[in-house]
Amino acid sequence: MSQNSSGSRKPPSSKNASPRTLGIDIGGTRLKAGVLDDQGNMVSGPDRVDTPHPGKPDIIVSSLIELVRPLGAFDRISVGFPGVVRGGRILTAPMLGTPEWHDFPLAAELAQRLGKPARVLNDASVQGLGVIAGQGLECVITLGTGFGFALFQDGLLAPHFELGQHPAAKGEVYNVYLGNATLHRIGRKKWNRRLRKAIGFIDTLVTYDTLLIGGGNASAIDFELPPNIRIVPNEAGITGGVRLWAPQMAGVFGQSGPLTRKPPESVAAAPES
């Protein structure tokens, strides 16, 4: 059963109303969804369920269909997915299983099942769209089951970097080095020490103006952050979905046939919590 934290449902939108967006956040631990108005305000939901494991495409899609059923009317669909997405198709899915997900047409499948147009983007990019100010070089990281990363220059999304798959330290990629399982294994004190070091790595790599930190484990941060780093609401993984339909994003969602690019051989999953 889905859990509704809002306790209310708004009436369906009329033909003359602004479009409503169904925002979906697919995570390695939770599936979350809500309906948004044209300003990104949540008008229904958010509802959530545990992510099924194994998280094969047909199982995840069926879970999403059931999750969104009570949320009411919407006109379009936006999805944040934990991996590399190209043209609405999944290239890598380290949290869910790349072999099963590679080349899966998630946007087309959800559009067909729910009867509305759908756009799919990396989940950290969606989170970033929900919190950036649109000024300067803004970097977004998400701390959850794994580690997400997105970069924006003056509000425009940069090409995707799968930093979660890049070596961090101790022979571990960021997905593992700062993942949820590691937080529970080594404890908050050591995990925060790792995060502080990783922020230094990222600052050297990106030289950002602002660093925005989201994800469920952002609440575990226990050291003082400088003025240009701030923690942002985790709900942005849903509410950022409204901006997938902004005119300046149109070029990101061009039509795409089956992928010819194979996943990198080194894609590694974060260990389960």
pLDDT given for residue 97 in this prediction: 86
User: For each of the chain's 273 residues, which pLDDT tens digit applies?
Assistant: 444 444 444 444 445 579 999 999 999 899 999 999 999 999 999 999 999 988 999 999 999 999 999 999 999 999 999 999 999 999 999 889 888 999 999 999 999 999 999 999 999 999 999 999 999 999 999 999 999 999 999 999 999 999 999 999 989 999 999 999 999 999 999 999 999 999 999 999 999 999 999 999 999 999 999 999 999 999 999 999 999 999 999 888 876 678 888 888 766 555 555
Q: Give me the domains of the chain, ranges plus CATH numbers.
A: 3-125+241-248 (3.30.420.40), 132-232 (3.30.420.40)
Six-digit token string for 46: 């958010």
Six-digit token string for 47: 């509802």
How many residues in the chain? 273
- The model's pTM: 0.89
Six-digit token string for 81: 């997915």
Report phi then psi at 161, rounded to 5: -110, 125
pLDDT given for residue 47 in this prediction: 97
pLDDT given for residue 271 in this prediction: 54
pLDDT given for residue 263 in this prediction: 83
pLDDT given for residue 14 in this prediction: 47
- CA gap 235, 229 in Å, rounded: 18
**Cα distances (angstroms) measured from residue 265 to each of 177, 257, 261, 268:** 19, 22, 12, 9
Q: Which residues contact 205 (CB under 8 A, 6 or more apart)?
A: none
pLDDT given for residue 268 in this prediction: 54
- CA gap 178, 31 in Å, rounded: 21
